[in-house]
């Protein structure tokens, strides 16, 4: 009898942790991802801000899983799931049958129904997104240096980050550091210090999932770095020349979108109930109602009180895999319980905020926790070494070595 076939769609934290939970199980596991790499998304903003190179935050999936002989890795994009036939369809029409399915495709940007903003407001989900943000931000300073007209120069030196969650805070803080420190003394016609970084958040404070006291500290830390923080403001328009906020207009050439995510469209095709963000309302064991052989894990799964962060995705991926192993062993599946290890967001050099259980940290202690945690959880030993070297260098020199625009004159 051939071993049960498990297909895992997506190799982010949920998919990879599911695959690794099948280690040594007598299964035929296929992992399918649109890219060839597992991405350490918590550090993706560092690629966008030229602090790390792309390979420092990504590891080839088939290298990570090389020793797990029951796993086949396919580079491909799952376009559809046929629940009745128990098969997924890839971008070239190829079909792969499964006995058990783990669906962990993650999210994409959502412009809240304003897809026309997409070309002007770059989001951050993939390495390609990160390199595009790097290109736009560094190129803006280059354009400003060549611009004779003062108003246009000011627009090139204005950077708007939409969305005050962890990603928005990290990007805005680092942009301010780049303008004030990294680029100092390198331009002749402009002073990068005059760059204006504006962080716009719809809620009444940045980092809404955090306790209000930490949000206030984060805002203060951002303002000290030179970021203009605008809470309680809604973006109503984005085009090539700037951003509208109701009646107000801000001339700027670079807008970064850190505001909204939408679940993968694969969720909608399952026929299961969805939440407002398009995530699948899964059963307590993470399966899809009426399909005990199909599990959803990571950002596509809507589970009450579970945040969309890496530790939650890992736990869901591992739990889905363990439930599959239980079903194969003819045992009942178990309920998913989220174990909350806390949340961390960095703001800039020496400053971060953290919630760990009942402990609330900010400033330098939070930053140290952030630093150690992120280096510790990086996927392989070599990346850890490189990232430590890069950060050590950057810390003492204020330099950011990945300041390379790959496609300069786009």
Q: Is 177 in the site for a copy of itself (CB under 8 A)?
A: no
Selected binder of a copy of itself within 152, 191, 386, 398 (CB under 8 A): 386
Catalytic residue list contains 147: no
Q: Which of 139, 167, 254, 323 binds a copy of itself (CB under 8 A)?
A: 139
Distance from C-alpha of 404 to C-alpha of 107, rounded to nearest angstrom: 28
Nearer to a copy of itself, 213 or 408 (CB): 408
Binding mask 253-272 for a copy of itself (x = CB under 8 A): --------------------
Question: What's the CA gap between 173 and 59, in Å, rounded?
Answer: 27
Q: Which span (110-118, 159-167, 275-283, 396-404) binds a copy of itself, by CB under 8 A?
A: 396-404
Query: Applying CB under 8 A, which of residues 25, 76, 89, 310 lies at the interface with a copy of itself?
Result: 76
Is 77 a binding residue for a copy of itself by CB under 8 A? The answer is: yes
- List 72, 108, 110, 228, residue binding a copy of itself (CB under 8 A): 72
**Residues of this chain, 356-385, that bind a copy of itself according to CB under 8 A:** 382-383, 385
Cβ nearer to a copy of itself, comparing 188 with 305: 188
Q: Give the three-state DSSP class for 72.
A: strand
**Is the CB of 53 or the CB of 110 nearer to a copy of itself?**
53
**Which residue of 75, 213, 251, 269 would you call a contact of a copy of itself, by CB under 8 A?**
75
Q: Does 402 contact a copy of itself by CB under 8 A?
A: yes
Of 59, 377, 326, 367, the closest CA to residue 217 belongs to 367
Contact 41, 127 (CB under 8 A): no
| β-pair type (237-239, 301-302) | unpaired
Can you tell me the distance from the alpha carbon of 111 to that of 126, in angstroms, rounded to the nearest whole number? 17
In this chain, which stretch among 58-66, 107-115, 226-234, 289-297 interacts with a copy of itself, using CB under 8 A? 58-66
Q: Which residue has the tokens 């999210």?
A: 107
Spatial separation of the C-alpha atoms in residues 334 and 219, rounded to whole Å: 41
**Nearer to a copy of itself (CB atom), residue 48 or residue 345:** 48
First-last CA distance in the chain: 56
Task: Provide, for the chain, the percentages of residues in helix, strand and coil under a 3-state DSSP scheme, each rounded to the nearest 5.
Answer: 35, 25, 40
Query: Pick from 237, 234, 14, 21: which is nearest to 107 by CA?
Result: 14
Alpha carbons 128 and 121: distance in angstroms, whole number:
14
Within 10 Å of residue 208's Cβ, how many Cβ atoms?
14
Q: Which of 95, 142, 145, 170 is catalytic?
A: 170
Q: Judged by CB, which is closer to a copy of itself: 60, or 231?
A: 60
**How far is CA 181 from its chain centroid?**
26
How many residues belong to the site for a copy of itself (CB under 8 A)? 55
Among 73, 88, 103, 157, binds a copy of itself (CB under 8 A): 73
SS3 177: helix
Does 146 contact a copy of itself by CB under 8 A? yes
Q: Which of 63, 89, 125, 193 binds a copy of itself (CB under 8 A)?
A: 63
3-state secondary structure of 302: strand
Site string for a copy of itself, 83-122 (x = CB under 8 A): --------x--x----------------------------
55 binds a copy of itself (CB under 8 A): yes
Identify the residue among 87, 114, 145, 306 touching a copy of itself (CB under 8 A).
Answer: 145
Q: What are phi and psi of 289, to 5 degrees?
A: -50, 130
Smallest gap, in angstroms, from Cβ of residue 189 to a copy of itself? 7
Q: Using the minimum distance from each CB to a copy of itself, give the nearer residue, 58 or 195.
A: 58
Alpha carbon distances (Å) from 238 to 31, 111, 126, 137, 227? 38, 11, 22, 17, 20
CB of 162: closest distance to a copy of itself in angstroms? 24
Alpha-carbon separation of residue 331 from 18, 309, 317 (angstroms) = 18, 30, 19
What is the rounded distance in angstroms from the CA atom of residue 196 to the CA atom of residue 218?
A: 18
**Rounded-to-integer distance, Cα 298 and Cα 94, Å:** 25
The rounded distance, in Å, linking the Cα atoms of 12 and 317 is 9
Chain residues that interact with a copy of itself, rule: CB under 8 A: 34-37, 53-56, 58, 60, 62-63, 66-67, 71-77, 91, 94, 127-128, 131, 138-139, 142-143, 145-146, 185-189, 382-383, 385-386, 389-390, 393, 397, 399, 401-409
Instruction: Enumerate the active-site residues.
Output: 170
């Amino acid at each position: 009898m051939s071993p049960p076939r498990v297909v895992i769609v997506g190799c982010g934290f949920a998919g990879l942790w599911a695959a690794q939970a099948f280690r040594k199980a007598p299964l035929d596991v296929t992992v399918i991802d649109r890219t060839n790499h597992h991405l350490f998304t918590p550090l993706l903003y560092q690629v966008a801000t030229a602090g790390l190179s792309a390979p420092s935050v990504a590891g080839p999936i088939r290298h990570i899983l090389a020793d797990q002989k029951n796993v086949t890795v396919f580079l491909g994009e799952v376009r559809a799931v046929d629940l009745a036939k128990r098969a997924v369809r890839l971008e070239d029409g190829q079909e792969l049958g499964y006995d058990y399915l783990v669906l962990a495709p993650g999210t994409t940007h959502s412009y809240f129904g304003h897809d026309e903003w997409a070309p002007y407001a770059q989001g951050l989900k993939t390495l390609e997104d990160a390199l595009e943000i790097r290109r736009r931000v560094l190129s803006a300073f280059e354009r400003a240096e060549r611009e004779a007209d003062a108003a246009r120069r000011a627009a090139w030196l204005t950077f708007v980050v939409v969305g005050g969650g962890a990603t928005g805070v990290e990007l805005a803080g680092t942009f301010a550091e780049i303008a004030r420190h990294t680029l100092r003394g390198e331009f002749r016609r402009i002073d990068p210090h005059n760059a204006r970084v504006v962080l716009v958040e719809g809620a009444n404070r940045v980092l809404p999932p955090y306790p209000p006291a930490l949000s206030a500290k984060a805002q203060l830390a951002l303002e000290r770095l030179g970021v203009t923080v605008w809470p309680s403001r809604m973006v109503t328009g984005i085009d090539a020349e700037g951003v509208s906020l109701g009646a107000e207009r801000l001339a700027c050439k670079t807008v970064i979108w850190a505001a909204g995510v939408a679940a993968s469209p694969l969720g909608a095709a399952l026929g299961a109930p969805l939440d407002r963000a398009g995530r699948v309302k899964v059963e307590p064991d993470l399966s899809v109602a009426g399909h005990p052989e199909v599990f959803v894990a990571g950002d596509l799964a809507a589970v009450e009180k579970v945040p969309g962060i890496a530790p939650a995705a890992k736990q869901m991926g591992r739990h889905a895999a363990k439930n599959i192993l239980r079903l194969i062993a003819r045992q009942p599946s178990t309920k998913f319980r989220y174990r909350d290890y806390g949340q961390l967001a960095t703001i800039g050099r020496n400053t971060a905020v953290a919630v760990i259980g009942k402990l609330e940290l900010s400033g330098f202690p939070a930053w140290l926790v952030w630093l150690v945690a992120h280096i510790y959880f990086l996927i392989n030993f070599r990346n850890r070494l490189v990232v430590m070297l890069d950060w050590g260098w950057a810390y003492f020199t204020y330099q950011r070595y990945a300041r390379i625009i790959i496609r300069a004159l786009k």
